[in-house]
Amino acid sequence: MSQTTQATAPAPSTRPAPRQSPLQRLGRLGRLVLVERSILLAIGIVIVLAYYGQYVGYFTVGYLSEQLTLNLEIGLLALGQLVVIISGRGAIDLSAGAMVSMCSMVLGFTAGLWHWPFWVAALATIGAGWLMGALNGYLAAYVGYPAIIVTLATWYVWKSLALYVHNTTPISSELPGQVDWLAGTVAGIRISLLAVWLPIIVLTWVLLNRTLYGRRLYGVGTNDIAARFARLQVARTRFHAFAFSGLMAGTAAVTVTSYYHSARADAGDPMVLRAITIAVLGGVLISGGAGKVSGVVLATLLVAFLNGGLTLLGVESQYQLAALGLLLLASALLNVWSARRFGIR
Amino acid sequence: MTATDVRPHPGQQRAEGTARRSFAYGNEVTLLGILAVAWVALSLAYPTFHEVGNIQNVLSSIAMVAIVGVGMTMVILTGGIDVSVGSGLAVCAVIVAKYVLSGGSVVVAVALGVLVGALLGAVNGAIVAFGRVAPIITTFATLNLFRFVSLQIFENQQVNGIPPTLSWFGPTGRTLGVPNAFLVAVLLTVVAWWYLKSYSTGRHLFAIGSNRDTALFAGVRVARREFAVYVVTGVLVGLASTVAVGSGGVVQPNIGTGFELQVIAAVVIGGTSILGGRGSALCTLLGALLVGTLRSALVTMGAPGLLTDFFLGVFILAAVAVDLVRQKRRSHR
């Protein structure tokens, strides 16, 4: 007995030491930066802002809040993606941008053409977003469609319907003045940031971290079979995740329509790439069950300020498309790589 | 066990057995039935529908979808997806168009398109297979990257005055009245069907889609196969771009937007499971025919063009619903 232990004990030391990556040799700090995505993102934001410091007059509350306002809708959609992707089984919401377009047209029709009171119209728009998200959720969670194919199909369904309902022309002049309320400023900061974005960030954080639903969502996303055996309502949890993404799309439609004072059928077209990029950059794992509000919010800030920086440099918006695509690939590779290295789940 | 050596090993014979049973199960027969009913109903309602000219139009308009559908079937068989084919088509088409405009020859133009397509496919394949990034994320990112690349080459202008060098592939190039591009699609489909049925590397695609880990343990070189299917799709996108440029004239910078939806629609309407592991290239051809019929019918019936994607989306949802019902029935057996 003792002989066998003696024989086996030295064996591990004779094995070649596992290959170490340069970052592993960097030690705990490198590991922490990779595991805690917030730290990496915070470093990125500091670098970008330090770069802003070179330009006089741009490192101001007004300019920064302007950049955030331009990316407000994308920040909202990214929170929606966060919740959907956490729910697992490769879930993702490709239809979010098309839902924004469709909801924008709903607001245009209700507030502009049908003269509903603005607040009723806004609530109807958000409700329409919830319904569209609920349709995705119903098909994906209860009927069992793969999320990719549902949201790919509804993406084109809403996109083409949004273009059709008002024959591709935007609704602008018919919109009442109240619509612009969210576009105003308080002490240099946009009202939409304070009245919409901030509360929704807090609410999402509470939802994910301080409610039973949030715990269920992470559980279902991590392992839905185990979750079923633990008698969690798997389908219901997933359904509400997609519906949440629809709510975000409806809210984003209200803010984007008020910002441009125009209900456009292509309002959401460029948003979905950015939202998914932000979610992945924020450290949300596409396999589900992992992702934080803090990561997504910091990634939103980073992408917003990066966009502003590129605009300052005079880079054309086409290149920003390429930059976003590359950023998405790079952060997805980083997620896969660090998850494999350090076994984050 | 090496996975690529002998062909007729027992596991494969079993696999062929299931393939035959699923044929008898009637996916092809069902699709042909739906197609026949649709054509008879439409021709009765609209006499112009079964005119030779319209049939030729349908066949040539679905050729690109059917060609790329062959590659997409393989990608979806492995449990992946490629939404970048539309943007890839734009890159290949603009390069081929500019080459033809500069007076290039047919052979080099086709080779160029195929080569560029293969390169784009290799980018997708490398990131998915070796980088292990989810296919939807990868190809969604490259959808935008390729679009950017094509816009750079277009220099934001349409390409005008393209000579009809590639007209053999275009809508006017016909053999015995059948558009050549459609014949190419049929040929590719038959080759792919034979390959998927009879070669062990073809069977591997089914194995990977059914259970990736099990395939890995069974000695399938999973990463290599995954890489290959994306490259094949890229090659076929390159080939499809020669069809797009075929008629000559003008190539618009927005070429290929929404093309991925038509291709994926053809594949899933053909009954290939979006979850991977089940499907057939033959059915994709029939699916493409059904998509072409739908589009043609919408035009004939005077439905607004803006709603084409709406009906395609609804059609995809219906087709996947059928697949889900069938799967449920199978698991209850």
**pLDDT per residue as tens digits for the range B207-266:** 888 888 888 898 889 889 999 999 999 999 999 998 888 876 788 888 888 888 889 889
Q: A90: helix, coil or strand?
A: coil
Residue A264 in this model has a pLDDT that exceeds 80: yes
Checking if the pLDDT of A300 tops 50, the result is: yes
Distance from CA of A343 to the nearest CA of B (A): 15
- Domain-embedded: residue B78: yes
By the CB < 8 Å criterion, does A329 face chain B?
yes
Highest mean pLDDT range out of A38-42, A217-221, A318-322? A217-221
Q: What is the mean pLDDT of residues A186-204?
A: 87
Decide if A148 and B317 are in contact by the 8 Å CB cutoff: no
Whether B52 is covered by a domain: the verdict is no
pLDDT digits (tens, 9 = 90+) for B75-88: 999 989 999 999 99
Residue A321 vs residue A81, higher pLDDT: A81
Chain B: residue whose CA lies nearest to A272? B140
B9 assigned to some structural domain: no
Angle (CA) B247-B250-B251 rounded to 5° is: 95
Domain range for residue B250? 63-255+273-279
| pLDDT score at A341 | 74
Q: Is residue B55 part of a domain?
A: no
> Number of CB pairs < 8 Å for A and B?
118
End-to-end CA distance of chain B: 33
With contact defined as beta carbons under 8 Å apart, do A338 and B143 qualify? Answer: no
Query: What integer pLDDT is reported at residue A81 of this predicted model?
Result: 95
Q: Pick A51 or B293 by higher pLDDT.
A: B293
Considering the domain boundaries, does residue B323 fall inside one? no
Residue A5, pLDDT above cutoff 60: no
pLDDT (0 to 100) of residue A240? 96
Domain contains B124: yes
pLDDT at A18: 60
Least confident of A38-47, A152-161, A229-238, B19-28: B19-28
The reply to whether A323 touches chain B by the CB within 8 Å rule is no
Q: Inform me whether the pLDDT recorded for A215 exceeds 90.
A: yes
The verdict on a CB contact (< 8 Å) between A154 and B313 is yes
Distance CA B116, CA A320 (A): 24
Query: What is the pTM for the complete model shown?
Result: 0.84
Alpha helices per DSSP H over chain B? 10-25, 27-45, 52-77, 85-101, 106-125, 135-154, 180-198, 200-210, 212-217, 222-246, 259-269, 281-300, 308-332
CB < 8 Å to B317, chain A: 139, 145, 150, 153-154
Is B301 inside a domain boundary? no
Q: Is A324 on the interface with B (CB under 8 A)?
A: yes
The per-residue pLDDT for A56 is: 62
Rounded to the nearest angstrom, the minimum Cα separation between A42 and chain B is 24
CB contacts, 8 Å: B133 with chain A: 329, 332-333, 336
The encoded tokens of residue B172 equal 């006017």
The ranges of chain B with pLDDT < 50 are: 1-25
Q: What is the tally of structural domains in chain B?
A: 1
What sign has the CA pseudo-torsion B5, B8, B14, B15? positive
Average pLDDT, chain A: 85
